[in-house]
Each structure stands twice: as C-alpha cells, then as structure tokens.
C-alpha cells in the first residue's frame, strides 16, 4: 500500500523534503511509521513530534492504503 507523508518545520528540514510517497509492506501504525521516517534524521527530541493521519491527530491508528500522514514538530518562534 501507498501512503503520503507530509513533513513540517525542522522535520522537513532534516528530511530535506516537504512530502514523499512511500510504499509500505504489512500493517503499520502511525507511530511506527513516524519512527521509521525519523530514524536517522538529526532530530534530538523525536517524542515531541506529533502525528496526524488524514488531518486528524492520532498516533495509534493502523495505516491503510492512500492515507496522508503529517509529522508535526512544535514551533516556538514569534
């Protein structure tokens, strides 16, 4: 199955992209996909990155074909 991943803030910067389409094999929760995506990126505080699936904040959900997953770090600037 295929999911679209949207990156924001310093996650986008570390991944060097705002969006990617990923082919997944087997069942995966949103949280597992996040760990997979952030693995190897230079982000010291991965716990603070939140996950939205199809524009709903949720990390427990099991992903299905066509889902859009957003990885949202908190921003502090003003």
Determine if 29 is a binding residue for other proteins (CB under 8 A).
Answer: no
Sole binder of other proteins in the list 16, 25, 39, 44 (CB under 8 A): 44
Token pair 């603070």 is found at 48
Selection from 44, 46, 45 nearest residue 33 by Cα? 46
Token pair 């949103």 is found at 30
What value does the CA radius of gyration of the chain take, rounded to a whole number of Å? 12
Determine if 56 is a binding residue for other proteins (CB under 8 A).
Answer: yes
Containing 68, the helix (H) or strand (E) segment is strand 68-72
Which range of residues in 20-28, 29-37, 53-61 is near other proteins by CB under 8 A?
53-61
Determine if 32 is a binding residue for other proteins (CB under 8 A).
Answer: no
Interface with other proteins (CB under 8 A): 6, 8-10, 12-13, 18, 43-45, 47-48, 50, 52, 55-58, 70, 72-78
């Amino acid at each position: 199955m295929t999911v679209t991943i949207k990156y924001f803030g310093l996650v986008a910067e570390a991944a060097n992209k705002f969006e990617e389409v990923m082919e997944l094999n087997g069942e995966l929760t949103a949280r597992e996909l996040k760990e997979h995506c952030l693995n190897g990126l230079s982000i010291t505080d991965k716990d603070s990155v939140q996950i939205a699936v199809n524009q709903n904040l949720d990390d427990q959900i099991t992903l299905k074909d066509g889902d859009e997953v957003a990885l949202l770090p908190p921003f502090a600037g003003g």
